[in-house]
């Protein structure tokens, strides 16, 4: 089962490598990983998209929590939450027909064309993992995809619930 | 008042002294010469020069296991640090506090493949509790205070502190500031067990028909042996210890049913298999205990007390998990037993004890003696006899380790010192040296084998330099006994690389290092030789005992079976 783990940790050198090291050392999966500083510069927030059964997920959250740099861990997928990913897709746009079709599909998905070249369009799209995967799949039916860059999932709990130090 | 200004290296030695460190175990090299110069100029902290950095880690480890005080290791950058890896991993697996001061090339050179540069923090990351890259000379004392705090609290473990050479520079002097009252916002280990869980656990214990108290290294680490004994007596329950937990209750106590697991007693493994309630205290359901997890104690309700939440339900799912310090939780359990008015009597578990006493009659530690061949078990029994059961027994890894655990009943915690988790050959001798430094007037014996002893035999030189007269008793079977046993049992007797056909003359070797060497090869000589070895108080004695090379360790769990599926002898299963 796919899960999204949110981690609040010290913004220290080496802290990220401890998280990544833990996942490989204990043979846990990482589907995607996002990390950046929070509003409080001494803290980082990591979002990891992973999968495993309940027993594995229990171990993942416990093991991450045990790391000295980690302040809080939450499984976002346990509760109502919002998840988003951003993708940049560079496609071949050689003729009018393809260009129109790419624009049409992007419009439907509420994407934006953010760069135009002689023969290429670059589209930016935000959404959850499903939306982004189906967008890429549909685009690939219309034209040749040159490059896909996905940010990985970030997420936040709905309502009052917050992960703070 | 003027504030004292010191260089990084002097800050380090001063901080170590203030943190009450007695010994540093280490080996010098380019990146730590400033520290060695500072050590030379003070007399509060003694340095023990080993012959290989791995031995420094094991010495610190042995010292810690015997005293409870955190050991300190100092090694230079590059190979000095990588040589420490096995010792760090050994401490990590057995939750032993340790602080490793790891020299590093100057900050400006880091990342440039400088001479003797390795990323020790990276190398050791999976086998440390935490590590610090110290980058500012001003931070040294407080980073050390944090390192000790982390190493010793919660579930203990090794901490690496990387010290680049530039912050140790004798010309850069800063004020000494040490804050011993450490607080780390991201680190708050649980102390007390959850009261609801305690209530649930006690309800189960009170109504148990077949209770087993199963305890591990956590009892030793928490200095909770007396408390455990009192609880076991109060409940009149049978108590079994893991390999790491031996001494948690006296090996001579009536309620003690022996070690459990792969080479445990029949009564311990049978009791586990038939229990209705298992009270696990500071043990982690290791695969050398459980055998096949799916077949492990299917009818038991498991109450699992551990300081580390990750240990709970990692292999065997716990019905009642309790996270907390084992001594604190035992006090809570006692209080709850008072509150519910619990009283045990001579009849408590009467039927259960009858079952256990039947299993005891299997006499699973019996072995046959021979007229002209020494059995390894006899050697351990002779060591027990001539040390009155009071020695610190350090072992290496293999058959001799199991024989020592089986045939030397440990009366006290911290008396039995072995690498249970990682299974590090070469651990026993340097560990014994660390113990002897701490307890020079006690018997300290290293029970080892002809394979293991050669993995750190160079430390005989250190023993001469610092006058560390341990007794080494080597059960020499001219082969890697445990490997050979598995090859006999599982690999059709094909002894692939388990022979040692070019053993040195250990007697001459001991003498060459300036010690006393003895060899014994007949059962009639054994008793006198062991007696003589322990009578020599002021010199290291190496007793090379030639034992039966065909002996196997029994009982032994049948592979992939339940906890109590065991071979009692060759060809005899229960």
Integer Rg of chain B from CA: 25
Mean pLDDT across A151-163: 95
Phi, psi (degrees; rounded to nearest 5) at A59: -65, -45
Check: CB of residue B106 under 8 Å from CB of residue B94: no
Integer Rg of chain A from CA: 19
Is residue A60 in a domain?
yes
Q: In this complex, which of A13, A59, A69 lies closest to B186 when CB atoms are compared?
A: A69
Q: CA-to-CA distance for B352 and B81, rounded, in angstroms?
A: 52
Domains with residue ranges and CATH for chain B: 5-175 (3.40.50.970), 195-360 (3.40.50.1220), 376-553 (3.40.50.970)
Structural tokens at position B289: 């205990």
Query: Strand B211-215 relative to strand B239-241: parallel, antiparallel, unpaired?
Result: parallel
Q: Helix or strand or coil: residue B470?
A: coil
Say whether both A107 and A119 belong to one domain.
Answer: yes
What's the pLDDT at B501? 83
- Residue B550 contacts A where some CB pair is shorter than 8 Å: no
pLDDT-based confidence at residue B460 (cuts at 50, 70, 90): very high
What's the pLDDT at A165? 85
Token look-up 């709990």 returns: A157
Query: Hey, are the CB atoms on A68 and B186 less than 8 Å from each other?
Result: yes
Query: Hey, are the CB atoms on A17 and B122 less than 8 Å from each other?
Result: yes
- Return the residue in A42, A62, A73 with the most chain B beta carbons within 10 A, the one to mutate for interface testing: A62
**Residue count (chain B):** 574
Give the number of other Cβ atoms within 10 Å of residue B321's Cβ.
20
Check: CB of residue B379 under 8 Å from CB of residue B525: no
Say whether both A45 and A100 belong to one domain.
Answer: no
Q: CA-to-CA distance for B334 and B338, rounded, in angstroms?
A: 6
- Residue B121 contacts A where some CB pair is shorter than 8 Å: yes
To the nearest whole Å, the CA of B472 is away from the closest chain A CA by: 37
Q: Which of B25, B53, B148, B459 is catalytic?
A: B53
Q: Where are the beta strands (DSSP E) in A38-136?
A: 43-51, 70-75, 81-92, 112-116, 120-127
Domain of A26: which CATH number? 3.30.70.260
What's the pLDDT at B178? 95
pLDDT higher than threshold 90 for residue B197 = yes
B210 is catalytic: no
Say whether both A67 and A96 belong to one domain.
Answer: no
Q: Which of B69, B116, B173, B458 is catalytic?
A: B116
B165 is catalytic: yes
Contact residues, chain B, for A18 at CB < 8 Å = 125
**Residue count (chain A):** 165
- Nearest Cα residue in chain A from B119: A14
Check: CB of residue A152 under 8 Å from CB of residue A84: no
Contact residues, chain B, for A14 at CB < 8 Å = 121, 131, 133
Structural tokens at position A84: 């988003």
Domain-ending residue, one of A62, A78, A94 = A78
If phi > 0 it is left, if psi is from -120 to 50 it is alpha, else beta; for residue A72 that is beta
Query: Hey, are the CB atoms on B313 and A55 less than 8 Å from each other?
Result: yes
Mean pLDDT across A110-123: 96
Helix (H) or strand (E) holding B148: helix B140-152
Say whether both A73 and A89 belong to one domain.
Answer: no
Contact residues, chain B, for A62 at CB < 8 Å = 309-310
To the nearest whole Å, the CA of A83 is away from the closest chain B CA by: 26
Is residue A164 in a domain?
no
Say whether both A39 and A102 belong to one domain.
Answer: no
What's the pLDDT at B517? 98
Q: CA-to-CA distance for B150 and B158, rounded, in angstroms?
A: 9
Under 8 Å CB pairs connecting chains A and B tally to 37
ipTM beyond cut 0.90: yes
Which residue range is the domain that position A101 belongs to? 82-154
Say whether both A89 and A107 belong to one domain.
Answer: yes
Q: Which of B240, B243, B244 is nearest to B255 (CA)?
A: B240
Domain of A144: which CATH number? 3.30.70.1150
Q: CA-to-CA distance for B334 and B149, rounded, in angstroms?
A: 29
Is residue A163 in a domain?
no
Say whether both A71 and A86 belong to one domain.
Answer: no
Say whether both A73 and A97 belong to one domain.
Answer: no
Q: Which residues of A touch B (CB under 8 A)?
A: 9-10, 13-14, 17-18, 21-22, 25, 55, 58-59, 62-63, 65-66, 68-71, 165
What's the pLDDT at B570? 84
Cα dihedral B479, B389, B446, B249 sign? positive
- Residue B310 contacts A where some CB pair is shorter than 8 Å: yes
Contact residues, chain A, for B133 at CB < 8 Å = 13-14
Query: Strand A81-92 relative to strand A43-51: parallel, antiparallel, unpaired?
Result: unpaired
Domain-ending residue, one of A78, A98, A132 = A78
Say whether both A62 and A104 belong to one domain.
Answer: no
Query: Strand A2-10 relative to strand A43-51: parallel, antiparallel, unpaired?
Result: antiparallel
Mean pLDDT of chain B: 96
To the nearest whole Å, the CA of B315 is away from the closest chain A CA by: 10
Mean pLDDT across B285-308: 94
Q: Which residues contact A63 (CB under 8 A, 6 or more apart)?
A: A22, A26, A28, B310
Say whether both A8 and A21 belong to one domain.
Answer: yes
Check: CB of residue B320 under 8 Å from CB of residue B197: yes
Domain-ending residue, one of A59, A78, A97 = A78
Q: CA-to-CA distance for B42 and B554, rounded, in angstroms?
A: 52
Is residue A165 in a domain?
no
pLDDT-based confidence at residue B458 (cuts at 50, 70, 90): very high
Q: How many domains does chain A have?
A: 2
Mean pLDDT across A120-141: 96
Is residue A160 in a domain?
no
Determine whether B497 is exposed, middle or buried from the number of CB atoms within 10 Å of its CB (0-12, 13-18, 19+). Answer: exposed
In angstroms, the first-to-last Cα distance of chain A is 28
Structural tokens at position B392: 């610190």
Q: pLDDT exceeding 90 applies to what percent of chain B?
A: 96
Note the pLDDT tens digit of each residue in B55-102. Answer: 999 999 999 999 999 999 999 999 999 999 999 999 999 999 999 999
Check: CB of residue B217 under 8 Å from CB of residue B244: yes
Check: CB of residue B478 under 8 Å from CB of residue B499: yes
What's the pLDDT at B432? 98
Check: CB of residue B554 under 8 Å from CB of residue B568: yes
Lowest mean pLDDT among A112-121, B344-353, B411-420, B423-432: B344-353
What's the pLDDT at B1? 60
Note the pLDDT tens digit of each residue in A41-73. Answer: 999 999 999 999 999 999 999 999 999 999 999
Q: Which residues contact B480 (CB under 8 A, 6 or more apart)?
A: B398, B449, B451, B497, B498, B499, B500
Is residue A161 in a domain?
no
Q: pLDDT exceeding 70 applies to what percent of chain B?
A: 100
Say whether both A62 and A105 belong to one domain.
Answer: no
pLDDT higher than threshold 70 for residue B218 = yes
Choice between B536 and B499, residue whose per-residue pLDDT is larger: B536
Q: CA-to-CA distance for B513 and B456, rounded, in angstroms?
A: 13
Query: Strand B320-323 relative to strand B301-306: parallel, antiparallel, unpaired?
Result: parallel
Chain CA centroid to CA B232, Å: 23
Is residue A159 in a domain?
no
What's the pLDDT at B344? 83
Q: Which residues contact A97 (CB under 8 A, 6 or more apart)?
A: none
B482 is catalytic: yes
Contact residues, chain B, for A17 at CB < 8 Å = 122, 125
Contact residues, chain B, for A9 at CB < 8 Å = 186
Say whether both A63 and A130 belong to one domain.
Answer: no
Q: In this complex, which of A14, A59, A165 lies closest to B310 when CB atoms are compared?
A: A59
Contact residues, chain A, for B314 at CB < 8 Å = 59
What's the pLDDT at B572? 83
- Return the residue in A11, A68, A69, A73 with the most chain B beta carbons within 10 A, the one to mutate for interface testing: A68
Is residue A10 in a domain?
yes
Phi, psi (degrees; rounded to nearest 5) at B568: -90, -35
């Amino acid at each position: 089962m796919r899960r999204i783990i949110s981690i609040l940790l010290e913004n220290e050198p080496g802290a990220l490598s401890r998280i990544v090291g833990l996942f490989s050392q204990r043979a846990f999966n990482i589907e995607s990983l996002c990390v950046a500083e929070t509003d409080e510069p001494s803290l980082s927030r990591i979002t990891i998209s992973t999968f495993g059964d309940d027993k594995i997920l229990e171990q993942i959250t416990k093991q991450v929590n045990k790391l000295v740099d980690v302040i809080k861990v939450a499984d976002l997928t346990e509760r109502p939450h919002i998840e988003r990913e951003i993708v940049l897709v560079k496609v071949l746009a050689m003729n009018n027909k393809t260009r129109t079709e790419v624009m049409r599909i992007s419009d439907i998905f509420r994407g934006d064309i953010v760069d135009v070249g002689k023969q290429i369009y670059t589209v930016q799209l935000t959404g959850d993992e499903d939306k982004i995967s189906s967008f890429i799949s549909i685009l690939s039916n219309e034209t040749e995809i040159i490059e896909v860059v996905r940010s990985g999932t970030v997420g936040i709990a709905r309502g009052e619930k917050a992960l703070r130090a | 008042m003027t504030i004292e200004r010191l260089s990084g290296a002097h800050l380090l030695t001063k901080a170590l002294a203030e943190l009450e460190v007695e010994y540093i175990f280490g080996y010098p090299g380019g990146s730590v010469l400033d520290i060695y110069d500072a050590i030379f100029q003070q007399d509060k902290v003694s340095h023990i020069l080993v012959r290989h950095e791995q031995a420094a880690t094991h010495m610190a480890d042995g010292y810690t296991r015997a005293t409870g005080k955190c050991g300190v290791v100092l090694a230079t950058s590059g190979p000095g640090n990588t040589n420490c890896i096995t010792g760090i991993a050994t401490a990590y697996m057995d939750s032993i506090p340790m602080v490793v001061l790891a020299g590093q090339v100057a900050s400006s050179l880091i990342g440039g493949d400088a001479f003797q540069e390795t990323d020790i923090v990276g190398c050791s990351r999976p086998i440390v509790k935490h590590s610090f890259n110290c980058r500012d000379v001003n931070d040294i004392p407080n980073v050390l205070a944090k390192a000790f705090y982390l190493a010793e609290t919660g579930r203990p473990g090794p901490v690496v502190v990387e010290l680049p050479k530039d912050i140790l520079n004798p010309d850069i002097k800063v004020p000494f500031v040490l804050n011993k009252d450490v607080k780390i916002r991201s680190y708050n280990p649980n102390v007390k067990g959850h009261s609801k869980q305690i209530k649930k656990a006690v309800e189960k214990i009170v109504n148990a028909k077949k209770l087993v108290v199963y305890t591990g290294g956590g009892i030793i680490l928490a200095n909770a042996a007396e408390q455990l004994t009192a609880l076991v007596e109060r409940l009149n329950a049978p108590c079994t210890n893991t390999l790491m937990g031996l001494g948690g209750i006296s090996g001579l106590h009536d309620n003690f049913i022996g070690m459990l697991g792969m080479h445990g007693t029949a009564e311990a493994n049978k009791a586990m298999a038939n229990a209705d309630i298992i009270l696990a205290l500071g043990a982690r359901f290791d695969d050398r205990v459980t055998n096949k997890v799916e077949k492990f104690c299917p009818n038991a309700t498991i109450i699992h007390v551990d300081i580390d939440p990750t240990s709970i339900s990692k292999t065997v799912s716990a019905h009642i998990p309790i996270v907390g310090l084992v001594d604190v939780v035992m006090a809570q359990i006692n209080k709850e037993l008072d509150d519910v008015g619990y009283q045990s009597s001579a009849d408590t578990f009467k039927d259960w004890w009858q079952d256990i006493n039947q299993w005891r009659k299997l006499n699973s530690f019996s072995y046959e003696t021979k007229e002209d061949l020494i059995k390894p078990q006899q050697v351990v029994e002779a060591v027990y006899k001539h040390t009155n059961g009071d020695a610190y027994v350090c072992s290496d890894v293999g058959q001799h380790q199991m024989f020592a655990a089986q045939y030397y009943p440990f009366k006290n915690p911290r008396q039995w010192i072995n690498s249970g988790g990682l299974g590090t050959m070469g651990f026993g001798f340097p560990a014994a040296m660390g113990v002897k430094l701490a307890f020079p007037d006690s018997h300290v014996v290293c029970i080892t084998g002809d394979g293991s002893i050669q993995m750190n035999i160079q430390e005989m030189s250190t023993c001469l330099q610092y006058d560390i007269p341990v007794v080494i008793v080597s059960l020499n079977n001219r082969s890697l006994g445990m490997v050979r046993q598995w090859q006999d049992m599982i690999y059709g007797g094909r002894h692939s690389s388990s022979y040692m056909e070019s053993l040195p003359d250990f007697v001459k070797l001991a003498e060459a290092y300036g010690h006393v060497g003895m060899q014994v090869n007949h059962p009639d000589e054994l008793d006198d030789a062991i007696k003589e070895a322990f009578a020599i108080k002021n010199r290291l004695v190496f007793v090379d005992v030639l034992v039966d090379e065909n002996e196997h360790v029994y009982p032994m769990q049948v592979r992939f079976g339940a906890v109590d599926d065991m071979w009692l002898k060759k060809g005899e299963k229960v």
